[in-house]
Amino acid sequence: MTTMQPASIDRIADLRNMPAVADTGLGAVLDSFRDAVLLVDHQGIVACANRSAEQLFQIPAVCLIGTDCLNLMADRQSRGFLDYLRGMLLSGEGGRPGATVELVGRRPGGTLFPIEVTSGRVEQPGDPAFTLVIRDIGQQKAREKELREGANRDRLTRVATRAHVEQLAETELFRASRYDRPFSVLLLDIDHFKRVNDTYGHAAGDFVLQEVAGRCRLLVRASDLIGRWGGEEFLVMTPETALEGGQALGERLRKVVGETPVVLESGESLRVTISVGVAPYLAGDDDLAAIVGRADAALYRAKAKGRDRVELADPPPKSLKPAA
């Protein structure tokens, strides 16, 4: 990473003699901007910086002036940015002043943060210059991420929504089909959940849902996905996992839910169990519904056999086979 050093006095004097900087009132005008503003020559060297730029990049003006503007950006993000300015703005071919791009800013010590840069051409005799109006969009990006995650997560249990599971399933089914890779689905249902609601109330039922989801979420791998399928049902997609691996995961989930009672807000301890149906991807499955249907049938058998157990989907017909 390039270290910021104060520019030489001669260099600063040369840059301040640029026609665009010559006006003695320019600094005061730029300091009135809330956003960071840099005036940059045709080589990308900073000629003028306002106070907001000092605060944004946490660098004194004496160090900003005379430095390459690309030193203020992450290398991978800024690569080609100056060429873009020269080609699209300074030449006036195909570009428009005021074009805005998202880049990554860099502060001393290597701290990176998202920025929005609006660039504009400065008309003057000789080589043209350009302005960079720079805004920290870290909070905006954080809000956008929160909204995306909120749309993809069930509000109560904080696991994925059914819609998000179905969306991601398309990718996993493609991988399983294209590369002949194993892929299993687990369908989990909380046993006697209606009794919990009827006996302890819906608030207690919501708490049980949160507890079960939280315990399962901690147990699945980062590559797995757990989502709320509906009501008291949860679905786990587990790539690179054949039927036997899915069964083992189902047993671990069953145990982690049932071995520790759920303590309600009232102080009462409630033993909660789940039943699990496991089904593998079969060659020819073209959507998640086919696999879920087999897992649901296995789940139904688990309920019929006494609950708190894991059941596997029926073996496939001879014409079909699980992924290797």
**End-to-end distance of the chain based on CA atoms, in angstroms?**
47
| pLDDT tens-digit series, residues 162-173 | 999 999 999 999
Q: Residue 216 in 3-state DSSP?
A: helix
Which pTM was predicted?
0.60
Domains of the chain in sequence order: 9-142 (3.30.450.20), 153-312 (3.30.70.270)
pLDDT band at 160 (very low <50, low <70, confident <90, very high): very high
Residues whose CB is less than 8 angstroms from the CB of residue 116 and which lie 6 or more positions away in sequence, other chains included: 100, 101, 102, 103, 134, 135, 137
Phi, psi of 215 (to 5 degrees): -65, -40
| Range of weakest confidence among 33-37, 88-92, 264-268, 314-318 | 88-92
Residues whose CB is less than 8 angstroms from the CB of residue 151 and which lie 6 or more positions away in sequence, other chains included: 161, 164
pLDDT above 70 for 215: yes
The pLDDT, as a whole number, for residue 2 is 47
Read off the DSSP letter of residue 316: P
- Helix count (H) and strand count (E) of the chain? 12, 12
In the set 102, 116, 211, 232, the catalytic residue is: 232
232 given a catalytic annotation? yes
pLDDT above 80 for 16: no
The pLDDT, as a whole number, for residue 44 is 85
